[in-house]
Amino acid sequence: MFKRDWIWAGALLGVFFLAFLFGQYQRAHFLDTGLSRMTTYSELENEEIYIASPLGMVGEDLGYNSYSKHQDELVSDLMLSSVVAIVEPTGVLEIGKESFGQEFTVKTGIRGDLSEGDVGKIYTHLGFSTGDRDQILYHGFFNVMKPGEQYLIFMEPTKWNSLSGKKEFNTERIYGYFNVKKDASGQARSQYTRWKDAQDEEFFVTSQRLLDEIYGFKNRMLSEFEESIP
C-alpha cells in the first residue's frame, strides 16, 4: 500500500511538472503586443488610444434598419443570456492578443450563479491591438466599463469555470453590458477619434440616428430589469 502511495504521488508530481513545462513554453511563445502592461483603467487614461471600429463605419443603413425594424429579435436574443447581473467594475483589466477582460464586483445577481459581493471577470473578443505605427487601437463599439459606474451585464460562463473555480464569463452576443443610467444620450464619433476625447461615451457610433436607435434599445433592455436596477 505504501509503495502504491509513492507511485501515485510520483505520477501526480509528473503531471504538475508537465503542466509547468507547458506553461513555460506558452509564456516563451506568447506574442506580447506590449499592451499587457496596461492592467488598470487609470492606465488607459495615460495612453494615446484611438477608436478603430465604431459601429456604422461600414453599412450604416443596415445597422440602422437592424435596430429600428428588428429590435424585438435583438431583445429576445439578449434575454437568452445564462447570467445577468448588476455589477460595478473594479478597474482591473486583462489585455491579451485576442481577448479583453474586465473585473467587476456584483451588486445584484439577477440570473445565474452570482451573488452580491462576488468578484468576476467578463471577456470580449473586441479589445485592443497595436497599429502599423505602434498606435494603440480599441476595437469595441461599446466602451470600457468605467469604475464608479454600475452596469447591467449579460454573460455566458467560460468552459474552464468549473475547473478553475473562478467566476469568468464571455460575451457571446453583440452586447455585453449597459450602463444603468436611464435616458442617457451620446455623440456620434468617427473612426480614429482619440479615446480620451470620447472617454465618457457609452457607445462608439458614426451616425447620430444610429446612436439614437441604440440608446432606444438600451433603454428597453433596462426596462426589462427595472426592479433590479438601483
pLDDT at 183: 79
pLDDT at 173: 76
pLDDT at 161: 60
pTM, 2 dp: 0.82
Nearest-angstrom CA–CA distance, 230 and 207? 31
User: At what angle are helices 208-224 and 60-69 packed, to 10 degrees?
Assistant: 30
**Beta-ladder partners of 170:** 123, 156
pLDDT at 133: 75
Contact, 82 vs 157, CB < 8 A?
yes
Amino acid at 224: E
pLDDT at 67: 82
Provide the residue-wise pLDDT of the chain in tens; the chain has 230 residues.
455 555 444 443 443 333 333 333 333 333 445 677 889 999 999 999 999 989 988 778 877 887 888 889 989 999 999 999 999 999 999 998 778 999 999 999 999 989 999 999 999 888 888 877 778 999 989 999 999 999 999 999 987 665 556 799 998 777 889 999 987 789 999 999 999 999 999 999 999 999 999 999 999 999 999 999 98
pLDDT at 144: 96
